[in-house]
A and B are shown apart, each in its own frame.
Chain A
Amino acid sequence: MTVHSRPLDASPHVSDEVRHTTCYMCACRCGINVHLREDEAGNPKVRYIEGNRDHPVNRGVLCAKGSAGIMQHYSPARLHKPLKRVGERGEGRFEEIEWDEALELATQWLGDVRRSDPCKLAFFTGRDQSQSLTGWWAQQFGTPNFAAHGGFCSVNMAAGGIYTFGGAFWEFGSPDWDKTELFMIFGVAEDHDSNPIKLGLARLKERGVKVIGVNPIRTGYNAVADEWVGITPGTDGLFILALVHELLRAKKIDLDYLIRYTNAPWLVIDDPDAADHGLIARDKDGVPLVLDRKTGKPVSSKKKGVKPALGGTAKLPKGRRAVPVFDLLARKYLDSEYAADAVAERTGVPAEQIRRIAVELAQAAFEKEIVVEQPWTDMKGERHDKMIGRPVSFHAMRGISAHSNGFQTCRALHLLQILLGSIDCPGGFRFKPPYPRPIAAQPKPHGEYQADAPLAGPHLGFVHGPEDLLLAEDGTSPVRLDKAFSWDAPMSAHGLMHMVIANAHARDPYGIDVLFMYMANMSWNSSMNSGGVMKMLADKDEAGEYVIPKIIYADAYRSEMVAFADLVLPDTTYLERHDCISLLDRPISEPDSVADAIRWPVVDPATQADGRDVRGFQSVLLDLGGRLGLPGMTNEDGTTKYRDYADYMVNHQRKPGVGPLAGWRGGKGDKNGRGEPNPKQIEQYIANGGFFEAHVPQEARYFKHANRAWQDFATQMGLQDGPVENVFQLYLEPLRKFRLCAEGKAEPQPPDSHRERIERCFDPLPIWYEPFEGDLIDEDEFPLHALTQRPAAMYHSWGSQNAWLRQIHGTNPLFVPTEVADAAGLEDGDWALVTSHHGRIRVPIKRMGAVNPNTLWTWNAIGKRPGAWSLSADAPEAKEGFLLNHLIHELLPPKGDGLRWSNSDPITGQAAWFDLRVKIEKDPDQSDTTSHPRFEAQSGSARPVPQVVAFGEEWTK
């Protein structure tokens, strides 16, 4: 007998309470609803995590990582107590100590450095979302050596955008998903921003808008794109400049936009022997000159009613000449070297595809013009009765930026956007508050230090020219350990975290005493040459002392880096902590709203495991600041100023009325943006779902770079202190200034060794040059490219400890293009040897057709050191999983001049991960079933690791 309708509790109890906070399973920072329910012991336990429908970032959705947060929160790899090393570095043997001892030890080590020579502290943080605090702490400490992970992530993207137009992708701006008519996405797997891109693609699919994916690998977003451009790695700039060539040839550019918002009409001095050749011609007040079409004479670009020319020659005093930026630009990109036919072979993109995409861009921009009937006033006071949009939008991330030519490539993409008139117009790319913020509104870098004193300003910033470099007294040596803002990487706005350990080990430019890191797996997947870095961290000098004498590391989990620390400060999980997702830091605004958010302890760590005694790193940092007597963190009576991070979030003011959180300021909590601290601010955030959002007025929503209503709103909100001029820099004069020095025409002079590459790479107009590694190796020997992509279901190394996510990505084959596999005789599951100029790895392979024919690739950060992350030593991540990092050196191959250059972009210092060149062959010995290189297991936790997880068992009985 069968009963087709049976009794069933269709309304079971779900949770006792729902708490709203911010996800931290990747950098996307989605709003989450954490459902809590009592466990058998009566403690609140996480029952379920879902997306917060009201949250501006994710609007209710949540990715695989976010939903797997439960397994992260209850991971057996969690640290529970401070640890002091008892074995040798790298072994991972520790004793648990109390917080008092840990903090006293840290205070002693750090205090000694601060009192003697503050540069002997290198403080670098990884995927940290509190750089506004950590940077301020380092500034108050007074070391010049601070940065976060931007240098090895996507600084080219950020710096290329900020220098060019005062914004960039992801946190700085996004496509106008509701209005765009054509969308191109370059070099993006799961890297930023995760759910908003998926939501955006959904919107485009719903509206039938074409999506073009540019990526050597056709997975994820590129798999659903309507058209795939399977480009050869490192050639995106060439492809983009070919699109520019085709658009210029077809006269499909927005002249009105160029004249109004860009430096296209500015005059460039043409006086080849002069010290200012190639600089912008300016009047006595420093205002750029333009060529007046009426009079044919150079006049101030600020002259009311001036109608500037875009071509021609202007006569300057003393018989000198100047030409508009656009004239130089048009002649440069109309050269046949940028023709589709000329670049097709090098880029791997057929010429007809390049030409057709150019036509489609032009059609979308100019034939699908969008008009928004919204009057607005520009910064010159001109009233416009509507907003005109060029509905073409772009997004790009690490695929184009993580190359040694990435800065110029990112600039090339922005050039393309600007020529089409599609920045912050309806249907184009849109700024997210507090952006736009051009370099005029950004700090310059600071590095001048002395004992027992803070730095004069923030470490990181934007140089305007050689005068802003951080050089030692000899005039050429770097001030900073990572050599940021030196001739090696003059415009390294995010520092060079990937060089810190190598430089400290080489004592070049100097040795250090304390290496202090947070959330950065530098002995494994976050470093190039991981095996080499492990040796450096454990290396001893002739006296038997560690070359890097002291290492303090803060992390929530037993990562590979923990094993190399002398002192480990255990952090909380993201559900146990306070955080602010601040407008002073990395914002989460949307184009139509200013937004920030908090995390708060939705569960108390003490209830989440026996003996759990962890503290949020930011609170610990403020405690250390008080113990060290750092300015701003210490009261007049010498006591510690901030109780914890929550106290700081509410009461710290960066300037009067402006603090880490913008919402509910003022004594009554009724002020937004600016206002005195509100003791109930965090409660009000919690009551509002963990975030704050203020809507941008309708009139201020587009053309923010030139929109008076936006400037007024931004000033009122405390995002800026007054109007900021933002002329898009198609021609980037700071680059020309560095070149003049390299040419010997201006001071200061770079070392001779640097002249050639500055000459070659620092073109003030975007260019493409061969990625360095490819240029230095024998292409016949290493004919292939090798890349990693982040899987959508696992963002970084943390994922491997996750019982659910590791069932999705427990191993990572090397995907090999079909023809390459055929030539090497490789079948699925075979073991191959992959060799670069630096090293060799042994990996399992999988054949693939949907990939650029010269590109091998694998998933990022799946491979694990045995014993790390509380996985068993024979876990597939450790046995078969592998890292490409072992093939990538932090230095470029030698080229006979005795120098080893950093494997970075010469302009920004961005780590050139994706320049890697390799060869592949079948391993003659197929009997071994492990990946190589292999490493000794690190010691694990003494705490038991569960053999079965049946999560939620207590609620299903």
Chain B
Amino acid sequence: MESEVNGILVAAHELKAPLNLLRQLAFSLDFAEDEKDVKLIQNKMINVSDRALRQVQDLTKIARLEDGLFEMEPVAVRAVCDEVTEELRTLFRFNHRNLEIEYRNKTRLVSANRELLYSIVYNFCLNAMHYSDEETRSELTLSDKDGKVRLDVRDFGPALPMDVWRSLKKGWVEKPTSIAMRPGSSGLGLYIASKFSQYMNANVGAVRHRDGTSFFVELMPSKQLSLF
């Protein structure tokens, strides 16, 4: 019970950030210089709300996982990555960061639930953007490894704390946990990614680098013949 309450507390802390930002954006509408500026602030408000809503939706999906409502199907993994990166590209640019993609995988279809896979990739990329240093890049890579399709998202920021890395090495994150070296984060995105991966029988993990971290998920290839 105590750990559940702690989990809720750290998740709540992470969800506070977009609400605080929305509040300040609403105030800043009063200081807009012209119509263009108003539009810009409104767009920011929409983007921040979208990101926060996505996180809340992901949390509700976790509760629905037990009901088995998410069907496994052949999913074109490159298309999912394309969609996520398209959605996040503006956000990266606004934050003076860059997202690079490299597809080395020959296997195009994985066995997954599209919605859950989308959330995993989205959470990994958002995490990478947040923890990369300014004017650096994050890298999304797809490759084939040991009969699976591996999706890596690498950031160039502070190293991942040992305890979180150990937890990921076991294959899952049991609850949202404060990440000391990555403040502002409850590790909520990692927790969500971990839960969704478990559901899809995929492995989730992290590689520590001296200048950052790679988070990865290893997906089972779909047995269905690819038409690509």
Do A and B belong to a common assembly?
no
